């Protein structure tokens, strides 16, 4: 499994780093986890978005989904450039887009907000570029060689972590969550845990975020093979070093602090992650 961090900031992009978005590649699939502001651009620097097999959105906070419309329009552009301004060609296949239950009407309203009357195909991102599938906590989905398990976690908006099992390894991504026992279901013996580590101190509110120490505790108790910390409110190197130290006090396995464009390989059989740059 190869994880490419496209963006790792909580909230809006800052310091040249996009918000939440991660490309996960296995032998047979390319998945985009989350699509926050800046991700459509960052993704295009790594692969052509037409190569994606599916997009999975953890929850409907804007830092996790705001670039879905630009990404959808980028996919539609490839049809427009082939002369289809009104209807897609018969051999066109929309990309599966997995969103939380209830998101579909919002997506359709959003797609209509900026009409291009001369090229109406561009206003159909969530009908033509994407095939929208709503998921519920506990759902299981197969994409290519990946078995996905959507695990409900604890956040102000309904948020599911995604656990991906492929023949070449496993990866679990939290999205946004406070501490909850469901994190151990998500991360149980996973090769790589990609965990939000938003806060310097544990969350005492109902909003739901993890501190780096809590992310480390989950990785340790779940028996994760490696831990990647992400969803940062600061790009300050000292702040990030302190987050890493806090996680390392709880978890003795390999820890990576996410940075935009970082590429992390996890070998089969829970091997050590290798930073590729």
Contacts with Zn ion, residue ranges (CB under 5 A): 61, 63, 176
Beta strands in the chain (DSSP E): 2-7, 21-25, 30-33, 54-56, 95-100, 130-135, 140-143, 146-152, 160-166, 169-173, 192-196, 227-230, 255-257, 263-266, 273-275
Nearer to Zn ion, 166 or 228 (CB): 228
**What minimum distance in Å lies between the beta carbon of 61 and Zn ion?**
3
CB of 58 to Zn ion, least distance (A): 8
Among residues 149, 224, 160, 166, the alpha carbon closest in space to that of 193 is found at 224
Identify which of residues 26 and 198 has a Cβ nearer to Zn ion in the complex. Answer: 198
Nearer of residues 25 and 63 to Zn ion, judged by Cβ: 63
Minimum CB separation of residue 178 from Zn ion in Å reads: 11
Considering beta carbons, is residue 36 or 169 the nearer one to Zn ion? Answer: 36
User: Smallest gap, in angstroms, from Cβ of residue 208 to Zn ion?
Assistant: 8
List the beta bridge partners of residue 184: none
Nearest distance from C-beta of residue 62 to Zn ion, angstroms:
9
CB nearer to Zn ion: give 153 or 166.
Answer: 153
């Amino acid at each position: 499994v190869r994880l490419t961090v496209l963006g790792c900031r909580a909230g809006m992009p800052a310091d040249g780093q996009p918000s939440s978005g991660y490309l996960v590649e296995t032998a047979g699939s390319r998945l985009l986890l989350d699509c926050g502001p800046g991700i459509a651009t960052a993704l295009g620097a790594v692969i052509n978005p037409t190569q994606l097999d599916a997009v999975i959105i953890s929850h409907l906070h804007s830092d996790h989904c705001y670039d879905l419309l630009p990404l959808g329009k980028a996919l539609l552009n490839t049809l427009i450039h082939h002369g289809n301004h009104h209807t897609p060609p018969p051999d066109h296949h929309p990309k599966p887009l997995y969103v939380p239950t209830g998101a579909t009407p919002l997506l359709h309203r959003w797609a209509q907000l900026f009409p291009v009357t001369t090229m109406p195909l561009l206003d159909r991102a969530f009908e033509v570029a994407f095939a929208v599938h709503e998921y519920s906590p506990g759902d299981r989905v197969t994409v290519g060689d990946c078995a996905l398990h959507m695990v409900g976690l604890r956040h102000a908006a309904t948020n599911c972590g995604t656990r991906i099992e492929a023949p070449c390894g496993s990866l679990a991504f939290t999205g946004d969550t406070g501490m909850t026992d469901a994190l151990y279901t998500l991360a149980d013996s996973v090769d790589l845990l990609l965990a939000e580590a938003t806060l310097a101190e544990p969350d005492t509110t109902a909003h739901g975020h993890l501190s780096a120490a809590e992310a480390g505790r989950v990785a340790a108790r779940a028996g994760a093979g490696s831990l990647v910390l992400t969803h940062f409110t600061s790009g300050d190197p000292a702040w990030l070093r302190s987050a890493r130290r806090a996680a390392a006090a709880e978890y003795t396995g390999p820890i990576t602090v996410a940075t935009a464009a970082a590429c992390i390989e996890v070998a089969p059989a829970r091997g050590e992650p290798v930073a590729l740059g």
